Amino acid sequence: MRDAIHQYLSGRPSGATAEELIGLIFTRPGSDTSLGPRFLQTMLGGDSRFAFDEQRLRWRAAIHQHLVLPLEDATFVVVDLETTGGAPSQGESIIEIGAVKISGGTVVDTFQTLVDPGRPLPRFITRLTGISDEMLAGQPRIRQALPDFARFAGEHVMVAHNARFDRGFLDAASRAVLDRPVTSNFLCTLRLARRLLPTLRRRGLDALAGHFGIPCVDRHRALGDARMTAEVLFHFLDALPKRGVLTVAEALDYQGLASDGRRFFCMLPRSAVASLPRGPGIYRFTDQDGELLYIGKAGNLHQRVSSYLSNSKGHSRKTLDLIRNIRSVDVEETGSELEASLLEAELIRARQPPYNVLRKHLPRIAYLKLTVANNFPRFSIATRPSGRSARYFGPFRSRSHAERAIDTLTRAFRLRTCTGTLRPAPDVPVCFQGQIGNCTRPCNLGTDAEGYRSQVAAFLNFFDDGETSVFEALEERREAASQQLRFESAARVQRDIDLLHHLRKRHRQMGWVVEQHHFAVVQPTADGASHLLYLVVHGRLLARTQLDETTDLPALIHLVSEQLNQAKPRGIKAEEVDGTTILAAWLRDRGDDDGYVIPISRDEKCFDASRSEAPDWALQVRALAGSPRIQRLAE
């Protein structure tokens, strides 16, 4: 237990209160507020690795005692490196070291040296820095330059802009030359900028220099950049006390705070992430007891899991809490992002991990809904198709796209969008849409049920039968507006025409997802040795299976036939919504090479699975799968 506390405090220079440490040890500390401090004093008081600050009532690791120093009394070494580019390599990537030592708010010393990397420089590095091979000839190698810099820096806290970069190169050089890692504490002006200047869109060194009015002198040379970084640090040292940050230890902790105000840390080893595959799949996070915390999907597993290791301002409070509890990750590769999405939805519904919000993992899509069973069908926006008493159009990428579509279609066909059941009467107040002519006002007898039904029929004919009269009417309005020199009105009508063409084209491509349409999707598995088959009937995912020698294709044919032969297709059940939504989004966004989509014809309703020949869709599945077993079953 002491080792765990020491590990925690080693990463927290300013220490932690007794309450915080007791919270790490016990799930339910109890109501006796004096027990925790007494318990910690008994357990840690005799251990030389720990020290207690009686003034601030905080425990800290003894290795950080020298950091309990007021900011105004501290000495900092601001460092910048120029390198050959790429990753650190045995220290032979550094070509210049520049540093500025500051104390008491003034520069007290500087350090600068070129370093011969022992190989020619890439051209882009010479163009960026102005450093040439000729300038490096005869300069010290890193084995001579690094000890000189180490003596200059001493045990002082180092400062760098994007310190992770500079520390990585210095650490590689120190291990190669001095046979030890860099142990100095680093303040990062980039991380401090994220905390102190949250509204600043860009926080690169140039952007910060512009923000504070710092001249850019000798940019992309080590000493010049170190001087600029030192000037930025002076501004931050003035701002930190206003945030309650008074010591060096508190500043080191402050730069690591997450957006929820607590220290950011992730116990998941970077080594466990480095070897993750870069293809699509799902990942599972577990805690120290092996309990499942979260299930997610990714198009690139390595990139997605790596994002949890960084202190991003985009992390929500719940995500930050998850990150602090992660201890291990397990991944499963899939053949496509579609399969990853479907598998993720299936596992979340089955396992219900505590950090997954049900249905939040689903893609955001929207549909247009027409309640055809109503006496006066209403036009609205829905998040998913359900029930049999409506027609659906879409899916759309977002609600805003759907709102633009419904606005255009309402102007063209004058259908109502108001809520509630209509009880037409001449004294019913007319809504805004009726007042501006976007609705025929069935509510106050502007049209009767028969007239409104003809509007609905025209709307459905536009999508189903390719009716063009609406285009003719809009083109007449456009020409009339142009002749009256109302060019903005004409342009608006043209935009409506273009959008209606697009909507009808998309409906022809996508209508089968939400209407009574049926199709199969075939995609390769992760290893490329087989294929995955998805069967969709009446707009819902009916089956998902791998095509291999054990696949019973006649059974799948019978399943499809049985569903097609139903007198009335049933609505989509709650547990089927996930797969239907994911497939709809995939069909909306799919690329030309992202699997195969095979329509299942309505004419196959009468197909008898006992007959020897297979339907056309099954023959196409067999041809794509290429499995001998599938061929025997389908023939």
Catalytic residues: 220
CB 386 within 8 A of CB 414: no
- How many Å apart are CA 101 and CA 111, to the nearest integer? 8
Of 497, 461, 466, give the one whose Cα is nearest residue 479. Answer: 497
Closest by alpha carbon to 598, among 486, 519, 500, 512? 519
Query: Which residues, including other chains, have CB under 8 Å from residue 443's CB and lie 6 or more apart?
Result: 416, 418, 422, 424, 425, 428, 430, 431, 434
Q: How many DSSP H helices and E strands does the chain contain?
A: 24, 17
> How many whole angstroms separate alpha carbon 469 and alpha carbon 4?
75
Beta strand pairing status for 186-188 and 157-160?
A: parallel
CA separation (Å) from 111 to 150, 174, 217?
Answer: 11, 18, 17
- Among 506, 537, 516, smallest CA distance to 394 is for 506
Tokens of 389: 């008493």
What is the layout of strands, in order, in the sheet containing 391-396? Answer: 379-382, 366-370, 391-396
Name, in order, each residue with C-beta under 8 angstroms of 459's C-beta and a sequence gap of 6 or more: 370, 409, 413, 415
Amino acid at 148: D
Please name the residue that has the structure tokens 């730069």.
255
Report the C-alpha gap between 153 and 632 in whole angstroms.
76
Other CB atoms within a 10 A radius of the CB of residue 561 amount to: 18
Question: What is the per-residue burial (b if ≥16 Cβ within 10 Å, else e) of 306-340?
Answer: eebeebeeebeeebbebbebbbebebbbbbbbbbb
